[in-house]
Amino acid sequence: MIVLKSRLLAALQDEPVEDCVSHPIEEILGETLAKNPSEARSWFHSIFLAHVRNPAAAAALLQCAGRLRRNLLMPEGKQMALAGLNSPSIEVREAAVSAIEQWGGEDLAQALRDHRETVPWLGDYVKNVIRDLSSP
C-alpha cells in the first residue's frame, strides 16, 4: 500500500482534478478496490483524513471518490463526505456535496438535510441535491 499511496499522492500533485475529466487517482483507486475492497476503502479513507486540512487535496480526493460507484466506497465514503461537509473550506464542502450527489441514497440525502450551509450559493446547491435525491 505504501507504493500505491506514493502513486496516488504523486498523481494528486502532478495533475489538477477537473470537472468531467478523468484523473489518474480514479484508476489507482479502481485497481486497488478491485484487489481488496475492504482494505482499499480503509486505506483511501486514511489518506483523506491525513489531508483533510489541506483543502485542495481533500477536495480533489472527494471529487475523485465521487466518480466511483457508491458501493465501492461505502461505508468509508460516507464518512469522508460527512467530514467534508464539516470542513471550514468551501471547496471541500462543495466536493462533499458533489460526491453525495453522484452517489445518491437516502442516507446521504439525510446527511445533507442535517447540514447547515452558511454560503448562499452552496446552500442552494445542497437544496437542489436534496430535491434530486428525494425525487422518485
Question: What are residue 8's phi and psi, to 5 degrees?
Answer: -65, -45
Using the structure block, give the residue that is written with the C-alpha cell 446547491: 125
* Residue scoring higher pLDDT (113 or 68): 113
Confidence of residue 27 (pLDDT cuts 50, 70, 90): confident
Question: Widest CA span of the chain, in angstroms?
Answer: 43
pLDDT for 115 beyond 80: yes
Using the structure block, give the residue that is written with the C-alpha cell 467530514: 83
DSSP 119: S
pLDDT for 85 beyond 70: yes
The pLDDT value given to residue 2: 63
pLDDT for 11 beyond 70: yes
The pLDDT value given to residue 5: 66
pLDDT for 61 beyond 70: yes
- Cα(53)–Cα(51) distance, rounded to whole angstroms? 5
Question: And the C-alpha cell for 38?
Answer: 475492504
Q: Give the residue from 135, 125, 8, 136 showing the smallest Cα distance to 64.
A: 8
The pLDDT value given to residue 40: 85
- Cα(112)–Cα(104) distance, rounded to whole angstroms? 11
Averaged pLDDT of the chain: 88
Question: And the C-alpha cell for 95?
Answer: 466536493
The pLDDT value given to residue 33: 83
Confidence of residue 76 (pLDDT cuts 50, 70, 90): very high
pLDDT for 9 beyond 90: no
pLDDT for 34 beyond 80: yes
Alpha helices per DSSP H over the chain: 2-14, 24-35, 37-50, 55-66, 70-73, 76-85, 90-103, 106-114, 120-134
Average pLDDT value for residue range 89-101: 97
Separation of first and last alpha carbons in the chain: 41
